[in-house]
Structure 1
Amino acid sequence: MTSFAEVYAAVEATIAEHAHAQDEGRVGDMVALYWSDAVVEIPGIATLKGVEAIREAFSRPAWQPDPANPQRHVVANSVVTDWSDREAKVTSDVVMVKFDGAAWAPAIVARYHDEFGESGGRWLLRRRADEYVGYHP
């Protein structure tokens, strides 16, 4: 039987891997953290259904990180709200900061509502729903 600590560590690792891959523009590595039929909900855009839709959206030039002005998704306060040996629901706070050449500043303040499923020892995202708390263009 999988313990709560094992589930928590596994989903935290996936969340961190996702943030690093997204911030570095490694779309393939990011998409590998999703189930093939995963759903991503981001306010203001159509719901993304399946890894190909997720890959296409995050491959768009407007969604790719700018090496001259890097970004970082800082994810914290993750709470596992429900879990079993094979599934988990997690809520996390996220702040995306961007570097404008002189200083880092918050760009987005949000909350992730994630659903994970275990697959071959890895905990992959089945669903991610972003909830924007604050946005600073």
Structure 2
Amino acid sequence: MSESTQAWVSAGVRAVIGAHTQAQDAGRTDDVVALYPPDGVLELPGMDPVQGHDALRAAFKGWAPTQPQQHLVGNTVVTPTAEDEATAVSDVVFFQRGDTGWTVQVVGRYEDTFRHIDGAWLLQRRATTYQA
């Protein structure tokens, strides 16, 4: 795979991660769901996998922010596995603002699989683990 293809894959994957984070923190459920293909999967500890647009929409709607929140995602390592597929591993810290200010709620890691479908990078699978 050429260096320019690797850069293109990495830029596309990072754009999806950023768009997902900002849409989720703003409570824009439909924007989050649009970043997954129809058979996309979200895996969270202690829950059955959430698969498909209807299930993802219901889940993210249920998690819509009721107070200011911020997912800070970093240390992302993107690995292209083909011209139309990639994986990424990112660290995430979830903050919420309450009466006493901002507090860390969760520290974790995303292990993502992406596919390039119909001209767009989409999040095929996100597996989340919690560190603390």
- TM-score using structure 2 length: 0.93
Distance 2:89 2:53 in 1: 21
Question: What letter is aligned with 1:89?
Answer: T
Per-residue deviation at 1:101? 3.2
Alignment of 1:25-104 (within 5 A): 25-60=27-62, 63-66=63-66, 69-104=67-102
Find 2:26's aligned residue among 7, 18, 24: 24
Distance 1:49 1:29 in 2: 16
Give secondary structure in 1 for the equivalent of 2:128.
strand
Question: What letter is aligned with 1:64?
Answer: A
Task: Give the aligned CA root-mean-square deviation in angstroms.
Answer: 1.3
- TM-score using structure 1 length: 0.89
Per-residue deviation at 1:82? 4.0
Distance 1:58 1:4 in 2: 31
Give secondary structure in 1 for the equivalent of 2:54.
helix
2:119 aligned residue: 121
Deviations, residues 82-129 of structure 1 (Å, cap 9, x unaligned):
422100011000001111134211111010000000012211010000
Unmatched runs of 5 consecutive residues or more in structure 2: none
Distance 1:127 1:51 in 2: 12
C-alpha contact (below 8 Å) 2:29/2:57 kept by paired residues: yes
Unmatched runs of 5 consecutive residues or more in structure 1: none
Distance 2:68 2:60 in 1: 16
Give secondary structure in 1 for the equivalent of 2:58.
helix
Distance 1:84 1:78 in 2: 18
Distance 1:101 1:88 in 2: 41
Deviations, residues 3-49 of structure 1 (Å, cap 9, x unaligned):
11111111000000000110011000000000100111011111111
**Corresponding pairs, count:** 130
